[in-house]
């Protein structure tokens, strides 16, 4: 199946998953690695629902996902990478800013990404080389410096050892950029770059399911997305993520590397 056809079929599945999450009221809330790392019955059910429908659409593909230790060798063949609810802490708090995120990796590289924010009814999608779209409208960002960029960030809530460095970086960012934003869903934070709302984003450690789909969406809109060395992101292990309009992303990466 070609990627355009798959994309059309996947959209219905991802929208259905988002609609399910939007009306849900979580009851069974458990901790995973620690006090801030939560999972609800809806994270698990949504991932199962996505897997069932996506494997019916594309039986040859493997799966990697945030819940139920869903691992795969993503470096060969086609693999869906699923975050059923990115922003679970927001979901539990009733914050109404979380997303369903699904990417397709081909031999280790994202070729298709979808991120759906069901409360805002914003559906972001991208196919490699074909551009990024928000509700069918093509997204093209303009370059800008860090000095003209709101900067989104994530606080690495599951890696407490990175909290102090994150706050030092924020101090340095605030010497240059107009302001910062901490919204609670890395996937949506990266999509905000694609939409031109923020100019840059960083988080010192994210998992592949947090950024696989949204990183492609940001890149296809014209953003740079890389690690602290300026290298393309990997998808086998957690990674630092820096992204943004080209000038802002490079300035932010330099600033992060200077701030120990």
Bridge-based pairing of strands 132-134 and 137-139 is antiparallel
CB of 187 to ligand IPD, least distance (A): 6
CB of 89 to ligand IPD, least distance (A): 6
Greatest alpha-carbon span in the chain: 51
CB of 99 to Ca ion, least distance (A): 9
Contact call for residue 83 and Ca ion (CB under 5 A):
yes
Listed residue (143, 97, 135, 115) closest to 213, CA to CA: 115
Residue 203 binds which of Ca ion, ligand IPD, none (CB < 5-8 A, kind-dependent): ligand IPD
Which residue's structure tokens are 């999972």?
A: 39
Residue 241 binds which of ligand IPD, Ca ion, none (CB < 5-8 A, kind-dependent): none
Structure tokens at 246: 């080209």
142 touches 245 (CB < 8 A): yes
Using CA atoms, how far apart are residues 43 and 100, in angstroms rounded to an integer?
Answer: 10
Please, where are the H alpha helices in 58-162? 88-93
Out of 86, 192, 220, 251, which residue is the one contacting Ca ion (CB under 5 A)?
A: 86
Applying CB under 6 A, which residues contact ligand IPD? 66, 83, 86-89, 154-157, 184-186, 203, 206, 210
Q: Judged by CB, which is closer to Ca ion: 86, or 251?
A: 86
CB of 105 to ligand IPD, least distance (A): 18
Q: Judged by CB, which is closer to ligand IPD: 126, or 241?
A: 241
């Amino acid at each position: 199946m070609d990627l355009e056809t798959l994309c059309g079929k996947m959209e219905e599945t991802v929208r259905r998953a988002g609609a399910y999450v939007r009306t849900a009221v979580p009851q069974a809330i458990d901790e995973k690695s620690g006090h801030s790392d939560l999972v609800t019955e809806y994270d698990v059910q949504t991932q199962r629902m996505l897997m069932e429908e996506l494997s019916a659409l594309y039986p040859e593909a493997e799966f990697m996902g945030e819940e139920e230790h869903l691992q795969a060798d993503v470096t060969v063949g086609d693999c869906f990478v699923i975050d059923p609810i990115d922003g679970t802490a927001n979901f539990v708090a009733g914050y109404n800013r979380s997303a369903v995120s699904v990417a397709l990796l081909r031999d280790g590289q994202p070729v298709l990404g979808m991120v759906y924010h069901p409360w805002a009814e914003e559906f972001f999608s991208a196919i490699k080389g074909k551009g990024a779209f928000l509700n069918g409208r093509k997204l093209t960002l303009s370059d800008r410096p860090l000095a003209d960029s709101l900067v989104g960030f994530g606080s690495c809530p599951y890696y407490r050892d990175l909290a102090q460095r994150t706050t030092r970086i924020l101090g340095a960012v605030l010497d240059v950029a107009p302001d910062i934003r901490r919204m609670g869903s890395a996937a949506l934070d990266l999509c905000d770059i694609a939409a031109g709302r923020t100019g840059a984003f960083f988080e010192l450690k994210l998992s592949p399911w947090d950024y696989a789909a949204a990183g492609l969406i940001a890149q296809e809109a014209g953003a740079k997305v890389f690690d602290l060395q300026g290298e393309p992101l990997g998808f086998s292990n957690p990674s630092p993520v820096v992204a943004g309009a080209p000038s802002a992303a490079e300035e932010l990466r330099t600033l992060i590397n200077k701030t120990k």
